[in-house]
Amino acid sequence: MTATHRAQAPTAKHRWAAGLTVFAAVMLTIVGVLDIFRGIMGIAEDDIFVTTRNYVFEFDLTGWGWIHVVLGAFAVLVSIGLFQVATWARVSGVAIAGLVIIANFLDLPYYPVWSIVMIAFSAFIIWALCVVRQEDAPDPFDRPPRDL
């Protein structure tokens, strides 16, 4: 007697988990690319940014540019791991998004609206990565088998 095993169709919980993982991966890619561009802006031309006087966290804008380039590059690399639903990528994604929030908070006086947008994007990434439990997160690109 031969037993046939069918793959179990994903439940709504699995679909939500997969969707949130893909959402976090796409958002982290966007945040990473935008952070790289912001860093290049700071490295290339210091006069693009508005300078403020007597700010507590006053740093050289070229240094900030390099910080943003490195954070953005790591964010893009981690997002590739998120597309593979790797646990290390979920943990790293939360850490990178947290660092992006801190960097943008410290960068707030130079471009306040842009910094707030990046903080909000990063907060959504952290939420999406933390709300999904590992056992609920199947491969986001798996399709349920079709019955013939």
Kindly tell me the burial class for residue 148, based on how many C-beta atoms sit within 10 Å of its own C-beta (0-12, 13-18, 19 or more). Answer: exposed
- Long-range contacts of range 13-19, CB-CB < 8 Å, 24 or more positions apart? 13/136, 14/136, 14/137, 14/138, 16/132, 16/136, 17/132, 17/133, 17/136, 17/137, 17/138, 18/137, 18/138, 18/139, 18/140, 18/142, 19/140
Among 67-76, 109-118, 123-132, which range has the highest average pLDDT?
Answer: 67-76
CB 29 within 8 A of CB 79: yes
Task: Please report the pLDDT score of residue 3 as a whole number.
Answer: 57
Task: Please report the pLDDT score of residue 32 as a whole number.
Answer: 92
Task: Please report the pLDDT score of residue 52 as a whole number.
Answer: 59
Read off the pLDDT of each residue in 99-124 and give the average, rounded to a whole number: 87
Give the pLDDT confidence of 14-52 residue by residue, as tens digits: 777 778 888 889 999 999 999 899 888 878 876 555 555
Task: Please report the pLDDT score of residue 63 as a whole number.
Answer: 80
- pLDDT higher than 90, residue 10: no
Nearest Cα residue to 26 out of 103, 146, 99, 124 = 124
Distance separating alpha carbons of residues 66 and 38, to the nearest angstrom? 10
pTM above 0.85, yes or no: no
Task: Please report the pLDDT score of residue 9 as a whole number.
Answer: 59
